[in-house]
Amino acid sequence: MYLKICKFGGTSMAEKSSILKVKDIVRGDLSRRFVVVSAPGKRFSGDIKITDQLYSCFEQKQKTGSCKQVFEKIRQRYIEIVRELKVDIEIESYLDQVEREIDQSITPDFAASRGEYLCALIMSKVIGYEFVDAAEIIKFDAQGIFDAGKTYEAVKGRLSIEKGAIIPGFYGALPDGTIKTFTRGGSDFTGAIIAKGVMADLYENWTDVDGFMTADPRVVDNPRHIEVLSFEELRELSYMGASVLHPESTFPLNDTKIPINIKNTFNPSDKGTLILKNIDGYNQPIVTGIAGKAGFTSIFIRKAMMNSEIGFCRRVLSVLEEHWVSLEHMPTGIDSMCLIIPDDSLSCGKEFALMEAIRKEVNPDHIYISKSLSLIAVVGHGMTNQIGTSAKVFTALANANINVKMIDQGSSEMNIIIGVETSDANRAIQAIYNAYFG
């Protein structure tokens, strides 16, 4: 039997109309046997996601000893969903239990996970599939690291193709049963885990767009649709701001041949974007997509004869490690180097302590810091061994009168990373897009 795993995001779970669309999608194809769901998302601009409200519940509980005030809004949201769907479930008893357990919890993970938990309970009644708690099958070790071996063993033993199941995303359990969540967006990861665990033929990830676009539609008007992506291209584009799919969500499938299909709950007839481990044989454009990400700081270091000073780069990087600062890119010259660092790893004033530590460690001739940097990734397997790709990119930026502050290209030639002032980022993406797609 052909087997599909479906994951539906928060927009698909937001209200009665979208949930009924999910029901039609699942029940309309008998091969869709396992369904992973997120917590209800926003219903309209200005609405608050259930997961965000649950984090607020834990914060209130920490301050006052009770989450009751914030939880009341969550309670009413779920009661409304159940009432409108007319499903047979004692939702208030579940809500009472969740409220009590949040008040007793010692970490925010339990509170945050209850959005998916409650949603999966409701969806099991809507679709008529068995509810399987993710805590039963998604396992973490005592250090909070995902335990692949125990997880896949539990998935194989617990899930029955004949019955079908609804599984909450985003969380699992530590060895002692304590709830542990993945990072935000972790329901995508859960879906991929289930797909591998049951060796599915296809992993469908349902969202509110028709798949990946060649650029952000908020930046470029009517960008082209991407029909096929490789796992590597997906990682690059997702990490750099294309938020259709969590950038780590393909990891469970990296050693399999299970494809991912990004589909739109609100336009199910569209073929979406197919993501494959190997895209050989498919028509590959030179550039597959362009994505940008703001929020970076550069530290420029210059020292004469740096290239002949053994261990210079290692000593600079050791300073970052000692200060718990992550590194994004490190373009270098014969007498200079540039450290590109995410702003969120530099707390207030930390960059000055970092610069002083670098001065003490390597005694540079010159060091300065520059903020308001955005990185733009030009991604595509078609760029490999393609003459003139970089020239086309930088000609487009020059014609748009945009100054390039940093350039980095991986050895695979699959991507070019460009640093520009954040104020120029959108114009830069538009210029590169027009150069390749018109």
Mean pLDDT, rounded, for 367-383: 91
Phi, psi of 27 (to 5 degrees): -70, -15
pLDDT tens per residue, range 297-355: 999 999 999 988 999 999 999 999 999 999 988 988 899 999 999 988 887 778 888 99
Are 245 and 187 in contact by the 8 Å Cβ rule? The answer is: no
pLDDT at 186: 83
Answer left, alpha or beta for residue 332, where phi above 0 means left and psi between -120 and 50 means alpha: beta
Region 289-437: CATH code? 3.30.2130.10
pLDDT in tens, 270-293: 999 999 988 887 888 889 999 999
For 123, phi then psi, to 5°, come to: -65, -30
Q: Where are the domains of the chain?
A: 4-276, 289-437
Q: What angle do CA 378, 190, 295 make, to 5 degrees?
A: 35
Q: By the 8 A CB rule, do 2 and 259 touch?
A: no
Tell me which residue of 244, 241, 232, 238 sits closest to 414, measured CA to CA: 232
pLDDT tops 80 at residue 431: yes
Q: How buried is residue 201: exposed, middle or buried, by Cβ count under 10 Å (0-12/13-18/19+)? A: middle
Other Cβ atoms less than 10 A from the Cβ of 24: the count is 12
CA dihedral 252, 255, 258, 264 (to 10 degrees): 40
The torsion angles phi and psi of 66, rounded to 5 degrees, stand at -145, 140
User: Looking only at Cα atoms, what is the longest distance across the chain?
Assistant: 75
* Percent share of the chain, pLDDT over 90: 79
- Residue-wise pLDDT for 185-242, tens only, equals 789 999 999 999 999 999 999 999 999 999 999 999 999 999 999 999 988 898 887 7
Residue 244: predicted pLDDT:
81
In terms of Cβ atoms closer than 10 Å to its own Cβ (0-12, 13-18, 19+), residue 138 is: buried
pLDDT grade for 416, boundaries at 50, 70 and 90? very high
CATH topology for the 4-276 domain: Carbamate kinase (3.40.1160)
Residue type, 34: F
Instruction: Give the pLDDT confidence score for residue 164 in this predicted structure.
Output: 92
